[in-house]
Amino acid sequence: MDLILFLTFAFVAVACAINLVLQTHPISSALSLVGVMGSLAVLYLLLGGEFIAAAQIIVYAGAIMVLFVFVIMLLNAEGEPVAMGPKLSRTLGIPLIVALAGLLAFIVHRVLPPGAGVAFGKFTGGTALDVGRKLFTDYVLPFEVTSILILIAILGAVVLARKEIH
């Protein structure tokens, strides 16, 4: 059951990711990205990271991508013409990317000791309680530093936006 779900959503994620690149209209691309994030959330859920899965949907799919879509709609961006690269990249691109992915999978499979990979249903520390406890004990410094980074980004955005007003 886990394997079927994994294969389904892994396939959806990859298909959405390919569609994201192939689409010419920004809205279609943005929504493909939402599809990728949604299927990633299901994969997190399968691995036992229920809080991360919910946060993925709420934050990425529900907030950040909505803003992307909002801006694309506001600017009324049109579909872009398909820009074809040189002939060499068109013919060699797909075989090379398949080779690269195969090589990566082979190396990871070789380097990793047997049994070190993830397994469905083995991980149980993914509830909001566990994640919260970890965030405020083991990872409190990175957590706080990240929040300050985000604050800096917000301040930067405010400063940049203010220049245009006066």
Binding of another protein at residue 55 (CB under 8 A)? yes
Q: Per-residue x/- mask for another protein, residues 114 to 143, rule CB under 8 A?
A: -------------xx---------------
Measured from the CB of residue 23, what is the shortest distance to another protein in angstroms?
A: 10
Binding of another protein at residue 46 (CB under 8 A)? no
- Please tell me the distance from the alpha carbon of residue 105 to that of residue 99, in angstroms, as a whole number: 10
Measured from the CB of residue 122, what is the shortest distance to another protein in angstroms?
A: 17
Binding of another protein at residue 51 (CB under 8 A)? yes
Q: Which of 14, 18, 22, 66 binds another protein (CB under 8 A)?
A: 66
Q: Which of 14, 63, 96, 140 binds another protein (CB under 8 A)?
A: 63
Q: Residues in the chain, how many?
A: 166
Handedness of CA 108, 114, 116, 118 (dihedral sign): positive
Q: Which of 4, 67, 116, 141 binds another protein (CB under 8 A)?
A: 67
Tokens of 106: 């082979």
Radius of gyration of the chain (CA): 20
CA angle, corner 85, sides to 80 and 86, nearest 5? 155
* Contacts made by residues 28-33, CB under 8 angstroms, sequence distance 24+: 30/65, 30/68, 30/69, 30/72, 31/69, 33/65, 33/68
Residues that bind another protein (CB under 8 A): 27-28, 31, 34, 50-51, 54-55, 57-58, 61-63, 66-67, 69-70, 73-74, 76, 127-128
